[in-house]
Amino acid sequence: MSIARRLVRESAGYPMSTEEPSDADLVTRARAGQRPAFEALVRRYQKPLYFLCLRYVHDHDGAADLTQRAFIRALEKMDELRDPSIFRGWLFRIGANLALNHLRDNARLVEEESRTTDEPAQTPEAQLRLEAAEEAVALRRAVAMLPTRQRMTLELRIYEDLAFRDVAAALQTTEGAAKVNFHYAVRRLRTILGPALGGAGKAGKR
């Protein structure tokens, strides 16, 4: 903002905008026991984390519960975060893992229900829930099988929806190398899981 524009805003009674603290700053304060700092992180990421969980579980109440649990887990494990600047990705991974565990547990519940009832077959809704949970667990296992650099690139690109330039910065590599790692990660997942992931390479930002 130019000096002239700033002076006009001040003279018009507009308060000067203050730069928001970075994630790293808020994490450092939260570690020191400053509750308002952690509350600021919650306000900053509550909505995107909720929608991340919702993409997994397709249930508003379930996504809200998972979001709350993710923040509780993050608060409990805050001291384990080596680099405070990657709090966003770290938090999203916590939420994604909780959501996948939720789907896996739900799949087990559906299986148990089908064994203990006299119904000849599962309802279509239960079958879809089971299939979705099984696919999510299979995907998580497949991602875990990737080489470390490919796995980290894929998680940053897909789970955190980062642009390749931001992925490169986070992994201390070049944007071109990040694109190559992502390409090989997607190709390997296709080999493991089949053509179901055919559109994965189009996900995220350009």
pLDDT in tens, 70-86: 999 999 999 988 888 88
Instruction: Give the whole-angstrom CA distance, residue 78 versus residue 86.
Output: 12
Which one has a higher pLDDT value, 130 or 28?
28
What DSSP state is assigned to residue 15? P
pLDDT recorded at residue 200 = 42
Q: What is the mean pLDDT of the chain?
A: 76
Report which listed range, 46-55, 60-69, 104-113, 170-179, is most confident: 60-69
Which one has a higher pLDDT value, 127 or 112?
127
pLDDT recorded at residue 205 = 45
Which one has a higher pLDDT value, 105 or 50?
50
Q: Once rounded to an integer, what is the mean pLDDT over residues 109-121? A: 48
pLDDT recorded at residue 168 = 82
Q: 172: which 2 tokens?
A: 């201390």
Specify the 3-state DSSP secondary structure of 198. Answer: coil
Model confidence, pTM: 0.56
Q: Once rounded to an integer, what is the mean pLDDT over residues 18-37? A: 91
CB 206 within 8 A of CB 182: no
Q: Once rounded to an integer, what is the mean pLDDT over residues 34-44? A: 95
